[in-house]
Amino acid sequence: MSAETASALDPDDGLLVLDGIVKQFGGLTAVDDLSIAVEEGEILGFIGPNGAGKSTTFNCVTGRYPPTSGTVYYDGEDVTGTDAHRMVTKGLARTFQEFRPLEDRSVRENVELALTPDKLFSLQGLRGETRQRAAAICERVGLGDRMEMLPDELPHAGLLRLELGRALATEPELLLVDEPFAGLSGPEVESISNLLSDLRDEGLTLVVVDHNMRGLLSLIDRAIVIQFGAMIAEGAPEEIKQDPTVQEAYLGGDEL
Ligand X SMILES: Nc1ncnc2c1ncn2[C@@H]1O[C@H](COP(=O)(O)OP(=O)(O)O)[C@@H](O)[C@H]1O
Q: Which of residues 38-57 bind Mg ion (CB under 5 A)?
A: 54-55
Residues 118 and 113: their CA atoms lie apart, in Å, by 10
Give min distance, CB of 122 to Mg ion, in A: 34
What is the CA 98 to chain-centroid distance, rounded? 12
Q: Name which of 234, 161, 237, 235 is nearest 199 in CA terms.
A: 161
Least distance (Å) between residue 67 CB and other proteins:
15
**Do residues 6 and 231 touch, judged by C-beta distance below 8 A?**
yes
Nearer to ligand X, 41 or 51 (CB): 51
Helix 128-140 and helix 156-168, axial crossing angle in degrees, nearest 10:
130
Helix (H/G/I), strand (E/B), else coil: 227? strand
Spatial distance between the Cα atoms of 97 and 79, rounded to a whole number of angstroms: 23
Q: Residues 109 to 148: which contact other proteins by CB under 8 A? A: 109, 112-129, 133
Angle at 35 between CA 34 and CA 38, to 5 degrees: 125
59 binds Mg ion (CB under 5 A): no
User: Which partner, Mg ion, other proteins, ligand X, none, binds residue 52 by CB below 5 to 8 Å per kind?
Assistant: ligand X
Pick between residue 3 and residue 107 the one whose CB is nearest to ligand X: 3
Residue 170 interacts with other proteins (CB under 8 A): yes or no: yes
Q: Name the one range near Mg ion by CB under 5 A: 12-20, 24-32, 96-104, 212-220.
A: 96-104
Q: How far is CA 228 from CA 13, 28, 155, 186, 233, in A?
A: 25, 10, 32, 29, 13
d(CA 88, CA 43): 19
Nearer to ligand X, 53 or 101 (CB): 53
| Contact code string over 40-59 relative to ligand X, x by CB under 6 A | --------x-xxxxxxx---
Which partner in Mg ion, ligand X, other proteins, none is near 256 (CB below 5 to 8 A by kind)?
A: none
Task: Give 19 or 178: the residue with its C-beta nearer to other proteins.
Answer: 178
Where in 43-102 is the site for other proteins (CB under 8 A)? 50-51, 55, 62-64, 83-86, 88-89, 93-94, 96-98, 100-102
| Chain residues that interact with Mg ion, rule: CB under 5 A | 54-55, 97
